[in-house]
Structure 1
Amino acid sequence: MATQPREESANMGKSTWLAFAVHILTASGALWALLAMVAAADRDWPMMFAWLGVALVVDGVDGPLARAANVTEKLPTWSGAALDFVIDYATYVLLPAFAIATAGLMSSPYNLIASGLVVVSGALYFAYEGMKLPDNCFRGFPVTWNMLVFVIFAFPGLQAYSLAIIVVFVALTFAPVRFVHPVRVKRLRPLTLAVAIVWLGSAFVAASDGMQAQGLTGIGLAGSSIYLLVIGALFQLSDRMRARSAE
């Protein structure tokens, strides 16, 4: 009988360390951000976006792992949400804004104006407690500037309109429009996950080709980007139409 408490204590210790390992995985995003920063300082934009891609994948898997490991209950004094916000601001907002400011996408002072709008709107968005809706969609553009700025880099034709594009998406940050979370939104989740994988694969090929999205790579990157941008709004429109027809 004396061995039972010891076994329970050992199992509790293992589960606690497993939960902490998930926090370490999330915190590794700081390392990927640092490596992306070093690449950005060298103006090595493909490598910068490659490290941001690693951080993006980590951010996509650490949430489900945290829920599976019951991190909140096992480690109540460690805030996974706070840790996630720190990493996400660096990788989703700050580093892409640095690229906007220094990569020559637009002339001065417009580059500083655009990057300033990105960092300020991004900071405000992370402070907004209403960003997550009951269906796990985001309310407003979820400041995924790492993805948007990559697309601008990969399609040179967009660079002439980069300031206008950035201003529009800054405005969408505060708009009552839904954007999907590819992992958490259950509606069409298999399709959305498949599209997200297409986006990552296309982005990898484009980065490997000197930040050029051509041929099938361009089609895959453009099509998946459009889907991920508009599918949440289509869900929202569909729900409104159903509500009106039910009245």
Structure 2
Amino acid sequence: MKAFRPPSSRTAKAAAFSVHVFTALGAGVALIAMMEAVRGQWVAMFTWLGVALLIDGVDGPLARKIDVVRVLPDWSGDALDFVVDFITYVFVPAYAIMASGLLLPWTATVLGAAIVVSSALYFADRRMKTSDNHFRGFPALWNVAAFYLFLLQPPPAAASLAVLALIILTFVPLHVIHPVRVKRWRRLNLALIALWGVLALVALAQGFVVAWPVTSVLSAIGLYIVGADAVIRLFTR
């Protein structure tokens, strides 16, 4: 028998709905980022995507603290989050990757479409997160992938192959750590993410023209996030 819970007050409902509005702001930020991308203002685009990333990092804890699911049961925060995440993590970055000239010209449109299609399927997969809070497969973090392409400026053939590899890895059952939710080495993970954020701001402030130590540390952190779990599993068998 379910325990009786008194109806939520208007104040509680207003607070809960404000969290949904805050989450939805990410869609507006994505539109601004898209406008900058169309203009070829890549640093401005990544700056706005960074704002969207901050919103995504804050809205979840806020929703849990206010107990939005209980207070507003008719509104799906998960559905709203998926919509905003798809735009900010996938759609806008896919356009940037496709239109930036970083890929082989004859592959750009096909790979851009493949990014969007594969990510849509990934978002629909109920197994996208494991029981220990890892992502299963490449977690459609195309905003981050695009950032590294702009940072590293690989030859077009290498860039196209890298994008193709990530699309394939979307459906490969490797485990990628969630830096916030995975319990193992959480303090280290959070420290590395904080360092990554600072260095990413440095890269943006300098128009992606940065000294090799900044590029090296950013690349090392990216490799750690993607490959740490695989290395741990290899040595703990």
Structure-2 separation of matches of 1:236 and 1:158: 33
The residue number in structure 2 matching 1:86 is: 83
CA distance in 2, matches of 1:114, 1:169: 11
1:13 is aligned to: 10
Deviations 1:126-166 (CA, angstroms, capped at 9, x unpaired) = 11111111111111111001001101101123654111101
* Greater C-alpha Rg: 1
Q: Partner of 1:3 in structure 2? A: none
Query: Does 2:228 correspond to 1:231?
Result: yes
Map 1:187-206; keep pairs closer than 5 Å: 187-206=184-203
Following the alignment from structure 1 to structure 2, what is the Cα–Cα distance between the partners of residues 33 and 161? 28
- The amino acid that maps onto 1:89 is F
Instruction: Say if 1:56 and 1:170 are closer, same or farther in 2 by CA, change over 3 A.
Output: same
Question: Can you give the 5+ residue segments of structure 2 that lack an aligned partner in the other structure?
Answer: 1-5
> Does the 8 A contact of 1:196 with 1:228 survive in 2?
no
User: Is the CA contact (8 Å cut-off) linking 1:179 and 1:228 kept in structure 2?
Assistant: yes
Q: Give me the identity figure in percent.
A: 42
Structure 1 stretches of 4+ with a deviation exceeding 6 A read none
What amino acid is the match of 2:120? Answer: A
Cα deviations by residue, 1:59-116 (Å, 9 ceiling, x for unpaired): 1221122111111111111111110111111111111110111110123221111111
Measured in 2, the distance between the counterparts of 1:207 and 1:184 equals: 27
Aligned equivalent of 2:211, options 214, 226, 230: 214
Paired residue for 1:244?
none
| One-letter identity of the residue aligned with 2:33 | A
Q: Scaled by the length of structure 2, what TM-score is found?
A: 0.92
**Do 2:104 and 2:157's aligned partners in 1 also have CA atoms closer than 8 Å?**
no
Give the root-mean-square deviation of aligned CA atoms.
1.8
Mind listing any 5+ residue stretches in structure 1 that lack a counterpart?
Answer: 1-7, 242-247
Give the number of equivalent residue pairs: 232
Distance 2:151 2:56 in 1: 22
- The answer (yes or no) to whether the contact 2:136–2:175 under 8 Å persists in 1 is yes
TM-score (norm 1): 0.88
Amino acid of the residue matched to residue 167 of structure 2? V
- Indicate conservation of the 8 Å contact 2:179/2:190, yes or no: yes
State the distance in 2 between where 1:159 and 1:58 align. Answer: 33
For the Cα contact (< 8 Å) 2:137–2:171, is it kept in 1? Answer: yes
